[in-house]
Structure 1
Amino acid sequence: MNNQSIQDMQIFGDPSGIPIVIIEHVMNAPQRTSSDNLYMRNLDIIDSITTSTVPSSEAVKKLSSASAAQSGRDLKIVIFVHGFQGHHLDLRLVRNQWLLIDPKIEFLMSEVNEEKTSGDFREMGLRLAHEVISFVKKKMDKASRSGHLRDIKLSFVGHSIGNVIIRTALAESAMEPYLRFLHTFVSLSGPHLGYLYSSNSLFNSGLWLLKKLKGTQCIHQLTFADDPDIRNTFFYKLCEQRTLENFKHIILLSSPQDGYVPYHSARIESCRAASVDNSKKGKAFLEMLNNCLDQIRAPTAENRVFVRCDINFNTSSHGRNLNTLIGRAAHIEFLESDIFARFIMWSFPDLFQ
């Protein structure tokens, strides 16, 4: 044995078939701008993620200050929220990896919107908020009976529109007392900026049919067709809500192969089409983007970690079919392949503890 490191090349499976993951550790989000060149702006990248413990908010400090000298336990809760027409077990592979990292977490696989994802996002968000509050209260009561409760860490994982439902729930007034406990937000291909500037013509045609034939309310909201004035639409109003600024860690997972969610929307960044659009739509999009990035820049958490991850899946086994043509194959790979989750979560376990 020499002093060179040894790596097991099979730890993540066959190297020729594993996804390629590109990780950006963003120290600071791009600065607010009113110009059209946001798409070309470089991000500040750092080489490593800080591993120091993120200080709790002042509210959480007050919660534990009365008995700081006493030993206590942290209550760590993770909420998993499925996407459009999804199942509550869709995110079980990510849950399993999180449990391996931290077996003490309490988790909720949200069921309240199962078979109800075609309606209004506001109704879905309200249902999720009530489900989360009920679950957190139950776990808090149980933890308090077994000893001193030192801190609470409330994390969320969402897939697709599940991320929009999460943010809508966090905007509910009933959730306000719990915002100080927010810890990690993991977004798997979430359309945070809606479907403006979607370049997938086949998928856009499908959205048009859903709106015309089924009158799916959430599709109208995703495509900004719920109000003639874009600044009165659901998504514009949602981006004005402070739904991201209380998280200590924000991790955005996207894939350029995913045709179901616009790439820029999943990454919360601008795109070339938006950067050259001087119309009202282009200006409104820039306002939405800056509103979201302002929350990430907000000084509500010291050492906030903001990470963008690009996942390039090996879809060769799917062949050439409708799923690959419309980008659905990569969108579903977030649920059916846990290799990328293993890589990210075990590379940076401090973000998940």
Structure 2
Amino acid sequence: MGQRLAQEVVSFVKRKMDKVSRHGTLRNIKLSFVGHSIGNVIIRTALAESSMEPYLRYLHTYVSISGPHLGYLYSSNSLFNSGLWILKKFKGTQCIHQLTLTDDPDLQNTFFYKLCKQKTLDNFQNIILLSSPQDGYVPYHSARIELCQGASWDYSKKGKVFLEMLNECLDQIRGPSEGRVFMRCDVNFDTSNQGRNLNTIIGRAAHIEFLETDIFARFIMWSFPELFR
């Protein structure tokens, strides 16, 4: 899916450039991306495609909405983890194995480890990571690209690999891009009207609320309009 997105982006930019070359001049090109959940993984995979390389210098703003940037290592949601285990056991879905870093016996050969090694965040001028402590579908630390307590006390290879992935991402965010804006933003949803049900218990309600409520998005756009121009 990352390759397909890269092809669509390249095709779109080429059409724009071709149209402008015939009818006028193009002052500036800005490529911005907004991703929700696993969509963020697809975006970063697309940016790692060789076909995107000539266009990386146009990257502008990246808004990540509850994206599992570090996979599902150290997920604290036991109910959700049980569901993932069942899916891996009986469905064998590649995506689930990739998210849980079980797609290869060697953690350093897994999809997510290799993705973090790619410079997918290096060229953005602005990076906004939106997360919610109520969201049980994506580990909080993974959405925020930060250290978690479980990893800080883990001296096994798993802990070492996690720290490598984390530092690779943070090094890209702290990269040489001049004037870069980086923000971590927490969103707390009012789910009291939904009562106590399976969605609120497993944290799905907040994960979906990101798509159904746009107040937080409008607030960011109003507060930081320069990031979206």
TM-score class, shorter-chain normalisation, is over 0.9
Q: Tell me, yes or no, if structure 1 residue 276 matches structure 2 residue 149.
A: no
Take 1:146 and 1:154, find their aligned partners in 2: how far apart are those partners? 21
Q: Secondary structure at the match of 1:150?
A: coil
Indicate whether 1:183 and 2:60 are aligned: yes
Q: Aligned pair 1:214/2:77, yes or no?
A: no
How many angstroms apart in 1 are the aligned matches of 2:112 and 2:185? Answer: 23
Q: Any gaps of 5 or more consecutive residues in structure 1?
A: 1-123
SS state of the match for residue 312, structure 1?
coil
For residues 27-42 of structure 1, the aligned pairs below 5 Å read: none
Counterpart Cα distance in 1 of 2:205 and 2:220: 21
> Counterparts of 1:150-161 in structure 2 under 5 Å?
150-161=27-38
Structure 2 residue matching 1:151: 3-state secondary structure: coil
Question: d(CA) in 1 for partners of 2:37 and 2:17?
Answer: 29
CA distance in 1, matches of 2:140, 2:212: 20
Matching residue within 320, 342, 348 for 2:196: 320
Partner in structure 1 of residue 224 of structure 2: 348
Match of 1:227 in 2: 104
Q: Which amino acid aligns with 2:144?
A: R
3-state SS of paired residue (2:101): coil
Aligned partner of 1:245 among 102, 122, 141: 122
Give the letter aligned to residue 147 of structure 1.
Answer: G
CA offsets, 1:147-173, max 9 Å, x none? 111211000000000000000000011
2: CA distance, partners of 1:175 / 1:287: 25
Q: Report the TM-score, using the length of structure 1 for normalisation.
A: 0.64
Distance 2:22 2:64 in 1: 33
Counterpart among 172, 177, 181 of residue 49 in structure 2? 172
Gaps of 5+ in 2: none
Provide the aligned C-alpha RMSD in A: 0.8
Partner of 1:141: 18
Match of 2:211 among 330, 335, 342: 335
Q: Measure, in 2, the Cα distance between the counterparts of 1:344 and 1:209.
A: 38
Partner-residue secondary structure (3-state), 1:190: coil
1:193 to 70, 77, 84: 70
CA deviation profile, 1:7-55 (whole Å, cap 9, x unmatched): xxxxxxxxxxxxxxxxxxxxxxxxxxxxxxxxxxxxxxxxxxxxxxxxx
TM-fit CA distance, 1:146: 2.4
- Give 1:51-66 correspondences, 5 Å limit: none
SS of match in other structure, 2:207? helix
Identity among equivalent pairs (%): 82
Alignment partner of 2:28: what SS?
strand
**Separation in 2, partners of 1:261, 1:163:** 12
Determine which structure has the larger helix proportion and give its number: 2
Matches within 5 A, 1:12-27: none
1:168-195 alpha-carbon deviations (Å, 9 max, x no partner): 0000111100101000000000000000
Which protein, 1 or 2, shows the higher relative CO under an 8 Å CA cutoff with sep ≥ 6? 1
SS of the residue aligned with 1:237?
helix
Q: Equivalent residue for 1:114?
A: none
Partner of 1:308: 184
Aligned positions, number? 229
Per-residue deviation at 1:144? 2.6
User: Could you give the per-residue CA deviations for residues 70-127 of structure 1, whole angstroms, max 9, x where no partner exists?
Assistant: xxxxxxxxxxxxxxxxxxxxxxxxxxxxxxxxxxxxxxxxxxxxxxxxxxxxxx1111
Match of 1:57 in 2: none
Cα deviation, 1:204-252, whole Å, max 9, x if unaligned, reads 1111121122221111000001011111100000000000010000000
Q: Distance in 2 between matches of 1:279 and 1:132?
A: 40
